[in-house]
Amino acid sequence: MSKVLIIGAGGVGNVVTRKCAAIPEVFSDILLASRTVEKCEAIAHDIGGDRVKTAQVDADNVPELVELIEDFKPDLVINVALPYQDLTIMEACLQTKTHYLDTANYEPKDVAKFEYKWQWAYHERFKEAGILAVLGCGFDPGVTGVFTAYAAKHHFDEMHTLDIVDCNAGDHGKSFATNFNPEINIREITQNGRFWENGTWVETKPLEIHKPIEYPEIGPRESYLLYHEELESLVKNFPSLKRARFWMTFGEKYINFLNVLQEVGMTSIKPINFKGMDIVPLEFLKAVLPEPSSLGEGYKGQTSIGCQIKGVKDGKETTYYVWNNCSHAEAYRDVKAQAVSFTTGVPAMIGAMMMLTGKWSGAGVFNVEEFDPDPFMEKLPVYGLKWHEKINEPLPVENEQQ
Ligand code: NDP
């Protein structure tokens, strides 16, 4: 029996709230708070039965957050607002001695930079306060870290290469839309690529390296090497990794749209003056693109995200591929959301459940792969994310013939 405060009523917030609401034995009281309270009220109304309370909060404002937390007294805050709010929400948790969980690492608004250093800097203060922060508990980051920890625990003595492969083979029927917050998504894709090799980061131009990779039940899809935040914590927590890369699929049409938007300056985060007002082109673009939470209905196809790992077990070269496929239509039937919000919101709920039931405990700031992966892996299929594995079969990411 625990009280949970969920901050952010977007695509992911909708899924986390519905999933928590369906498990009253763990999440007895739920407060959903966001900038636009009407979005919280719409979700709460749809769930019904007065199960979810709602509130308005500006999560950039620490005193406002502290007041809300002191009033509701949650055991845990689940942050599914935007990465910009991570530090203010962590600060409020610290001041009120409340556990914290999020799905994306902090990013300063004025530089597109994904780094854990700002959040890891809270470790000692969380430890002294006796509270726990779990960082990056969506799918990627999130399940990909748990998959890697599970592989390390059960299938390897030493892991040498890790490739995270993320495919969205869905069709939402819109000319151009992003599956999660457009501002965060476009900042992630348009920055330089980066991967880990032999103890150092190798930088690439944006989307410079790409190749087709075969995905289960989907087939080959052009996949682009990106920098993704979990690489930073995974190479730190699994130092035997000689190489770690992240691949994501994009359709030709998506890339064409993105190139045009980039070339005309619409993806810039530098403010420009328009009719006497400073506006950020990317923020304006977000305002005209469809909201990720609106893409669910009629979305066809599925996502496939997994980890392909090579290493050694009992002195023998071993390969391991673990993945989940998620259907957009099934996600919509379950929680009125597309698969990208679903695959993020379900793991956030499971992570919260791990913390509130004492399966994951401690004091300080941790990434998901630092906890026992087994109870989390056990819950994934129970709440809609079945996973599959292949042991000692050729890894699709290694196939240069495709
Ligand atoms: P949305 O844009 O759909 O939702 C974000 C929500 O946060 C909106 O309701 C927004 O309010 C609210 N919000 C923004 N700023 C504030 C603020 N200052 N105070 C209070 N509320 C605020 O994004 P998503 O739901 O798609 O994404 C949510 C998070 O999940 C993001 O951090 C994203 O990076 C992360 N994510 C992680 C993934 C993973 O696998 N790890 C994958 C996908 C997403 P308003 O409605 O007023 O705009």
Q: Residue 247: its pLDDT value, please?
A: 97
> Do both 226 and 82 map to the same domain?
no
Minimum-distance ligand 1 atom for the alpha carbon of 140? 40
The span from the CA of 95 to the CA of 84, in Å, is 19
Q: Are residues 164 and 113 in the same domain?
A: no
Task: Note down the domain range covering 38.
Answer: 2-135
Determine the straight-line distance between the first and last CA of the chain, rounded to whole angstroms: 51
Does residue 345 lie within any of the structural domains?
A: no
Residues 103 and 208 in one domain: no
Boundary of a domain, candidates 135, 154, 173: 135
Residues 385 and 255 in one domain: yes
Q: What is the pLDDT of residue 255?
A: 87
Spatial distance between the Cα atoms of 32 and 196, rounded to a whole number of angstroms: 38
- CATH assignment at residue 99: 3.40.50.720
Same domain, 83 and 221: no
Residues 175 and 310 in one domain: yes
End position of a domain, from candidates 135, 163, 179: 135
Burial of residue 60 (number of CB atoms within 10 Å: 0-12, 13-18, 19+)? middle
Q: How many Å lie between the centroid of ligand 1 and the Cα of residue 212?
A: 30
One domain, residues 188 and 226: yes
Q: Are residues 162 and 219 in the same domain?
A: yes
Return the number of other C-beta atoms located less than 10 Å from residue 398's C-beta.
Answer: 12
Q: Atom 3, ligand 1: which residue's CA is nearest?
A: 10
Going by DSSP bridges, is the β-strand pair 99-102/76-79 parallel, antiparallel, or unpaired? parallel
Nearest residue (by CA) to ligand 1, atom 2, is 181
123 and 182 part of one domain: no
Residue 16 CA to ligand 1 centre (angstroms): 12
Name the residue of 80, 189, 289, 293 whose CB sits within 8 Å of the most ligand 1 atoms, as the mutation to test its pocket. 80
- Residue 374 forms part of a structural domain: no
pLDDT of residue 401: 55
Q: For residue 101, how far is its CA from the centre of ligand 1 (angstroms)?
A: 14
Q: Would you say 99 and 75 are in contact if contact means Cβ atoms under 8 Å apart?
A: yes
Question: Do 55 and 171 sit in the same domain of this protein?
Answer: no
Q: Please tell me whether residues 174 and 31 are part of one structural domain.
A: no
Distance from the CA of 103 to the center of ligand 1, in angstroms? 10
Distance 254 CA to ligand 1 centre (A): 22
- Number of Cβ within a 10 Å radius of residue 78: 33
276 assigned to some structural domain = yes
Task: Give the CA-trace dihedral at 229, 235, 241, 242, to 10 degrees.
Answer: 80
Q: What pLDDT does residue 183 have?
A: 79
Instruction: Give residue ranges with CB within 6 A of ligand 1.
Output: 8-13, 34-36, 39, 57-60, 80-83, 85, 103-104, 138-142, 180-181, 184, 292-293, 340-341, 344
Per-residue pLDDT of the chain (402 residues; tens, 9 = 90+): 899 999 999 999 999 999 999 999 999 999 999 999 999 999 999 999 999 999 999 999 999 999 999 999 999 999 999 999 999 999 999 999 999 999 999 988 877 778 899 999 999 999 999 999 999 999 999 999 999 999 999 999 999 999 999 999 999 988 889 888 887 888 888 889 999 999 999 999 999 999 999 999 999 999 999 999 999 999 999 999 999 999 999 988 888 998 899 899 999 989 999 999 999 999 999 999 988 878 888 899 999 999 999 999 999 999 999 999 999 999 999 999 999 999 999 999 999 999 999 999 999 999 999 999 999 999 999 999 999 999 999 999 997 655
Residue 115 forms part of a structural domain: yes
Q: Are residues 244 and 296 in the same domain?
A: yes
CA angle 213, 331, 43 (to 5 degrees): 135
CA of 346 to the centre of ligand 1 (A): 15
Q: Which of 67, 102, 135 is the last residue of a domain?
A: 135
Instruction: Specify the number of domains making up the chain.
Output: 2
What number does the ligand 1 atom closest to the CA of 82 have?
32
Residue 344 lies in a domain: no
CA of 68 to the centre of ligand 1 (A): 19
Q: Tell me whether residue 355 is in a domain.
A: no
Can you tell me which atom of ligand 1 is nearest the CA of 61? 18
Q: Return the HEC string of the chain.
A: CEEEEEECCCHHHHHHHHHHHCCCCCEEEEEEEECCHHHHHHHHHHHCCCCEEEEECCCCCHHHHHHHHHHHCCCEEEECCCHHHHHHHHHHHHHHCCEEEECCCCCCCCCCCCCCHHHHCCHHHHHHHCCEEEECCECCCEHHHHHHHHHHHHCCCEEEEEEEEEEECCECCCCCCCCCCHHHHHHHHHCCEEEEECCEEEEECCCCCEEEEEECCCEEEEEEEECCCHHHHHHHHCCCCCEEEEEEECCHHHHHHHHHHHHCCCCCCCCEEECCEEECHHHHHHHHCCCHHHCCCCCECEEEEEEEEEEEECCEEEEEEEEEEEEHHHHHHHHCCCHHHHHHHHHHHHHHHHHHCCCCCCCEEEEHHHCCCHHHHHHHHHCCCCCEEEECCCCHHHCCCC
